[in-house]
């Protein structure tokens, strides 16, 4: 999609690169991560209003340190270098970078020493977050220092004649409380952006673009009931109406009443043409006796493609397949930098299905982060139960039943999971947690039910808090809420006599158990 104004971020390997992109977008300007050596000529083809050079773990004086095309400094657009990006820009423009006498990690005091557009609005003394072992040791005469820290004489600086600005600290992290002002100043006072990146504009441009691309062909959309596929389906329906055919595969591994929620929302409320493929018997028979989690995933993946193929076969004139690929999916799968990024993982949304089914791909959300997708969902009028729904794995309850999957074990987990979510919502904790669910363990324990001895199943409750799902901490749900969940599960779910709470963080544990 061509945007009215773009701030490309040259990613030199910073752990905060996506955070920089989010901060820019929060200011109403579209940002995009690009490979660090992107040619200046390629950037010139975009409607570039400015460029940001990210931080990174390398040292600019190392032999194989990543470099940018020096010609970007001749494009005539403002450039902001952050940490490594500042050091690289300063070196290219005549400065010297050396290891710092004192490495700075963590909060430190920034002292603003000049009245300049980049630091305007900052108090004379403020707190910033540092994370560096190198720093600019010497600035040539055509640079102006803007701020210092106790151990860094050039914590912020700018070039006198070229529109290059650099900060040694990280304005994108929350530990730099006035970092938002730095981005505001750079985007609006220096780059003169208009701030037209809004969800309303995104929807309008996306709908128009999809309508032109699709023409009179039909589009098939795999609908899971999660926020990503739901937003894709709703956007497409707004663009092409009845040319959209949605397929929902009931694999028999869904949460309680999940199929009914999807049918009532999309078929009844949004009037979307929804095909439900009832494939529960295929999935459950193929999974019978299977215990290994990787084998479960392979079976489910194969059965899903077969079910999708059966449902799609009668649809005449279908040329496109719509998927809910998000921007982090694209980056993590190595497709984000014109195919040159490291392939970190093969993501389920960025490979496999289209090649096997022979459709052209439509991915209207591939420029968005998860929180932006939720904003689009709200603007489109999707119900809160879908927009703010916790993530649910593609293999469904199969990876939350440790051991063999049977109809009775599915019943136990469905009933227990429903109670966990009911109590979480009743305690007003659903929006305050990132992912909460029940897990059925492959063991039985002794208990006393009434006056009789029992030997029944164990249910674990997993609840985490996280911003990005790359790392997560276990949620400190109040004991009273946990007690209510436990009491209800043991009293109401036949076959359970013990409930435990998972207090593992990620890493080393994963969020899901399988």
Residues labelled as active-site residues: 83, 170, 172
**Residue whose tokens read 């004379």:** 124
- Please count the residues of the chain: 514
DSSP 265-302: IIIIIS---EEEEE-HHHHHHHHTT---HHHHHHHHHH
Cα–Cα distance measured from residue 250 to residue 307, given in angstroms and rounded to the nearest whole number: 9
Cα–Cα distance measured from residue 439 to residue 436, given in angstroms and rounded to the nearest whole number: 10
Copy the structure tokens of residue 447.
Answer: 């208990």
Cα–Cα distance measured from residue 201 to residue 157, given in angstroms and rounded to the nearest whole number: 35
What sign results for the dihedral spanned by CA atoms 402, 403, 407, 408?
negative
Contact 185, 121 (CB under 8 A): yes
C-alpha gyration radius of the chain: 26
The burial of 47, by beta-carbon neighbours within 10 Å (0-12 exposed, 13-18 middle, 19 or more buried), is given as exposed
Q: What is the DSSP letter of 186?
A: I
Cα–Cα distance measured from residue 173 to residue 108, given in angstroms and rounded to the nearest whole number: 13
| Alpha-carbon distance values, 450 to 454, 490, 493, 497 (Å) | 9, 12, 15, 11
**Residue whose tokens read 């599960």:** 489
Query: CA angle at residue 189 from 188 to 194, to 5 degrees?
Result: 30
What sign results for the dihedral spanned by CA atoms 350, 353, 357, 361?
negative
Q: What is the DSSP letter of 48?
A: B
Cα–Cα distance measured from residue 463 to residue 450, given in angstroms and rounded to the nearest whole number: 30
Cα–Cα distance measured from residue 23 to residue 27, given in angstroms and rounded to the nearest whole number: 7
Cα–Cα distance measured from residue 21 to residue 32, given in angstroms and rounded to the nearest whole number: 7
**Residue whose tokens read 């390629």:** 42
Copy the structure tokens of residue 32.
Answer: 């995009």
Cα–Cα distance measured from residue 7 to residue 52, given in angstroms and rounded to the nearest whole number: 7
Cross-sheet strand order for the sheet of 318-322: 274-278, 244-250, 218-222, 318-322, 360-362
Q: Longest Cα pair distance anywhere in the chain, in angstroms?
A: 88
Cα–Cα distance measured from residue 365 to residue 486, given in angstroms and rounded to the nearest whole number: 39
Copy the structure tokens of residue 248.
Answer: 């929902």
């Amino acid at each position: 999609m061509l945007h009215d104004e773009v701030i490309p971020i040259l990613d030199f390997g910073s752990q905060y690169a996506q955070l920089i992109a989010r901060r820019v977008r929060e200011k109403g300007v579209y940002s995009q991560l690009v490979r660090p050596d992107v040619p200046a000529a390629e950037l010139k083809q975009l409607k570039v209003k400015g460029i940001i050079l990210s931080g990174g773990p390398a040292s600019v004086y190392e032999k194989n340190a990543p470099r940018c095309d020096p010609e970007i400094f001749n494009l005539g657009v403002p450039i902001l270098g952050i940490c490594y990006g500042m050091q690289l820009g300063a070196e290219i423009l005549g400065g010297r970078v050396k290891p710092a006498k004192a490495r700075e990690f963590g909060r430190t005091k920034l002292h603003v020493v000049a009245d300049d557009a980049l630091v305007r609005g900052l108090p004379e003394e403020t707190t910033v977050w540092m994370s560096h072992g190198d720093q600019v040791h010497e600035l040539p005469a055509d640079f102006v220092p803007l701020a210092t820290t106790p151990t860094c004489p050039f914590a912020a600086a700018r070039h006198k004649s070229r529109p290059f600005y650099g900060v040694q600290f990280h304005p994108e992290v929350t530990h730099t409380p006035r970092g938002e002002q730095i981005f505001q100043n750079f985007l609006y006072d220096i780059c003169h952006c208009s701030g037209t990146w809004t969800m309303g504009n995104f929807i309008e441009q996306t709908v128009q673009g999809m309508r032109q691309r699709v023409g009179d062909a039909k589009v098939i959309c795999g609908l899971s009931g999660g926020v990503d596929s739901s937003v894709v389906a709703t956007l497409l329906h707004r663009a092409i109406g009845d040319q959209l055919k949605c397929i929902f595969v009931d694999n028999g591994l869904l949460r309680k009443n999940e199929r009914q929620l999807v049918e009532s929302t999309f078929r009844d409320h949004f009037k979307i043409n929804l095909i439900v493929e009832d494939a529960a018997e295929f999935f459950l028979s193929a999974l019978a006796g299977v215990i290994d989690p990787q084998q479960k995933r392979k079976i489910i993946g194969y059965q899903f493609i077969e079910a999708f193929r059966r449902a799609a076969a009668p649809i005449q004139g279908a040329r496109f397949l719509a998927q809910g690929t998000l921007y982090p999916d694209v980056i993590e799968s190595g497709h984000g930098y014109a195919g040159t990024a490291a392939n970190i993982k093969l993501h389920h949304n960025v490979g496999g299905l289209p090649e096997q089914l022979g459709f052209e791909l439509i991915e209207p959300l591939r420029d968005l982060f998860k929180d932006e997708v939720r904003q689009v969902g709200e603007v489109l009028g999707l119900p809160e139960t879908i927009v703010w729904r916790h993530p649910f794995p593609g293999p469904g309850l199969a990876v939350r039943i440790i051991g063999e999957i049977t109809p009775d074990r599915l019943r136990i987990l469905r009933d227990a999971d429903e109670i966990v979510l009911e109590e979480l919502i009743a305690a007003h904790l659903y929006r305050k947690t990132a992912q909460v669910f029940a897990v059925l363990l492959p063991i039985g324990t002794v208990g006393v039910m009434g006056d009789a001895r029992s030997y029944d199943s164990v249910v674990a409750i997993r609840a985490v808090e996280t911003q990005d799902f790359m790392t997560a901490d276990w949620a400190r749900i109040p004991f009273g809420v946990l007690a209510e969940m436990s009491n209800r599960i043991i009293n109401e779910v036949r076959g359970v006599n013990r409930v435990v709470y998972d207090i593992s963080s990620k890493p080393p544990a994963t969020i899901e158990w399988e």
